[in-house]
Amino acid sequence: MSDIDPTWGPGALAELSVAETGALLRAGTITSVELVEHALSLIEAHDPQLHSFVLVTRDRALQRAARADRELRDGIDRGPLHGIPYALKDILAAEGLPTTNHSRLTVADVAAEDSTVEARLRVGGAVLLGKLATYEFAFGGPSTDLPFPPARNPWHREHIPSGSSSGAGVAVAAGFVRVAFGSDTAGSLRGPAFHCGAVGLKPTYGSVSGYGATPLAPTMDHFGPLAWTVADAAAALQAVAGPDPRDARTHQAPAPDFLGSLTGDVRGLRVGYSKAWYASDPASLPEITEGIERALAHLDGLGAIVKECELPPYEVFDACGRVILMAEGFAVHEDNLRRSPRSFGRYTYQKLMPGAGVGASDLLRARDVRRRLSAALDRRVFAGHDVLITACGQTTAARFDDFGTDWPPPQLANDMQTIPFAVTGHPAMSLPLGFAGNGLPIGVQLVGRKFGEADLFRAGMALEAEFGRRDTRPVLPGDGGHAPRRRPGTVREPRDVRP
């Protein structure tokens, strides 16, 4: 490994991007087995206090890594993730492994076949390290009455990483993997990315198959990557996107070339924003509002065309999404809710049961409102703009001790602004913008026209280069002073946010 700068320290391999790692793998400078062994050592050393993984597949990972090394030596190239370690949110099936859903009800359920996401990653030569923590059935909360402990935010372990792709946010921020895959029904990829300082992409509805994933609300369920950088997210999406005859929700056109959009050139890109959604809300942390303003000013300075636009009221999106989510979530779990309600975690049960009171007429009206909201976004925003920039979350990650016995926690307001684009199906990406004064990450949300992920990657690359702080990692438990890890040549001093 002579081409790797020795000054990088013990986290060196974790700091290689997907593209950098791929180039070194293809050159024979490093091996996939070395990557996997390094990742496994990090997980073993640090994850017992972070709880991002519910299952580590050591032997399987090393076997797949050895196969990737043989193929790459023989000139077989399966794509951008060939030989790259990754992990799955534990609602995505992988043949022969449990799909526990973080629940007593399914803790011993072993998958008979791969989900489409896992099947495509396997075909693409990527290396599965294991299954990641989630909220129960991707819907509960940071519960302590489930088979596994809740994942903890690596920047401050007394804070939650958000959910429901909680393990994915922790594993990527901690440097265990560069990419992880999960679901987003109301913000479940974007929330953990926002609160853990990573990139979370909810692709356009139907871009990625949900076959083999445990459903929550099938007409709002999206599947995609959580990654350390925009380019890593693009490579991960490239590996899993595209039509699937086993999932009628998927778009029938082949996935475009996402990697070709990674230029960061935003000249002429039309960027919209609406202050009414975030600036006047007293719940919004001023640092987040200021971050959005800095992002808009930076894009304007790079040649983007930045103009304010008018959005439908946020409250209408929120109410519409909650009706659909409650109704569909209850329908998915109705049998178990009636037969064995005490098998659910308390938060999950309390969040699912209100769906019993949503009538057919309520659901039909909500779906009609969704259709009109989606059309309004296309007409008011994306007819004249390529990207919308708005808040992703309003505050930094909550503390575990803010949560009581029952849901919802009385002292916590809903601090995420992610549900609107799960309702309409537009692609949306959470992008980190640095840290608040308390040392916890903050970020921004980028939204595009349907199947307009390429524009999100363009704008995201430009903002990440200026604000992303991709050179800084959290101090991990037991790090002995090695972290935050910082790549050589960077000028920013890392912030010490030791838990």
The residues annotated as belonging to the active site are: 89, 164, 188
CA dist 385 and 44 (Å) reads: 46
Q: Do the strands 441-448 and 222-227 form a parallel or antiparallel pair, or are they unpaired?
A: unpaired
DSSP 25-42: HHHTSS-HHHHHHHHHHH
Crossing angle of helices 58-73 and 18-27, in 10° steps, is 60
CA dist 362 and 353 (Å) reads: 16
> Residues 6 or more apart from 134 whose CB is under 8 A from it?
89, 90, 91, 101, 102, 163, 164, 165, 166, 167, 182
Q: In 3D, which of 26, 214, 192, 59 has the Cα closest to residue 125?
A: 26
CA dist 175 and 198 (Å) reads: 11
Q: In 3D, which of 149, 105, 53 has the Cα closest to residue 340?
A: 105
First to last CA, the chain: 33
Q: Identify residue 269 by its one-letter amino acid code.
A: L
Instruction: Name the residue with tokens 């990674």.
Output: 262
CA dist 126 and 130 (Å) reads: 12
Q: In 3D, which of 428, 429, 427, 430 has the Cα closest to residue 450?
A: 427
> Per-residue b/e over 279-293, b at no fewer than 16 CB within 10 Å?
beeeebbebbbebbe
Task: Find out whether 238 and 181 touch, Cβ atoms under 8 Å.
Answer: no
Q: In 3D, which of 97, 23, 115 has the Cα closest to residue 58?
A: 97
Q: Identify residue 490 by its one-letter amino acid code.
A: T
Instruction: Name the residue with tokens 């064995």.
Output: 340
Instruction: Name the residue with tokens 């495509």.
Output: 120
Q: What share of the chain is helix, strand, coil (3-state, %, to 5)?
A: 40, 15, 45
Q: Coil, strand or helix: which one is 339? A: helix
Q: Phi and psi (nearest 5°) for 436?
A: -80, 175
> Residues 6 or more apart from 74 whose CB is under 8 A from it?
none
